[in-house]
Amino acid sequence: MVATVTGGTVIWFVLFLVQLPFYGWFADHGHTWWLWTCLAGGGLGLFGIWYVRRREAAIKRAADPASGTDSDSASNSPSSAA
């Protein structure tokens, strides 16, 4: 999943950089939103990379049997306090 989001982010930034030298043409024809859409896509892609990496790390932590989440909940149960 990280590779997919990273690939998409790179594509958005490349599209922005390729169109940047033609800013004057885009401005003359009222299409400057094309550049800003690519820049926004790249920026949101950076957020997406961060989000997907955190999500995958959380999934791995939850799947790890040695994480101790089950033993912590057992030690805090009311029956173990008696």
User: Judging by beta carbons within 10 Å of its beta carbon (0-12, 13-18, 19+), is residue 44 exposed, middle or buried?
Assistant: middle
Would you state the pLDDT for residue 26? 93
Q: Tell me the mean pLDDT in the region 42-52.
A: 96
Residue 63 has pLDDT above 80, yes or no: yes
Residue 28 has pLDDT above 90, yes or no: yes
Q: Tell me the mean pLDDT in the region 42-61.
A: 95
Q: What are phi and psi of 48, to 5 degrees?
A: -65, -40
Give the predicted TM-score (pTM) of the model.
Answer: 0.70
Q: Which residue has the tokens 């550049």?
A: 35
Q: Widest CA span of the chain, in angstroms?
A: 78
Would you state the pLDDT for residue 68? 58
Would you state the pLDDT for residue 10? 97
Which ranges of the chain does DSSP label H, i.e. alpha helix?
2-19, 23-28, 32-63, 69-75, 78-81
DSSP state of 68: -
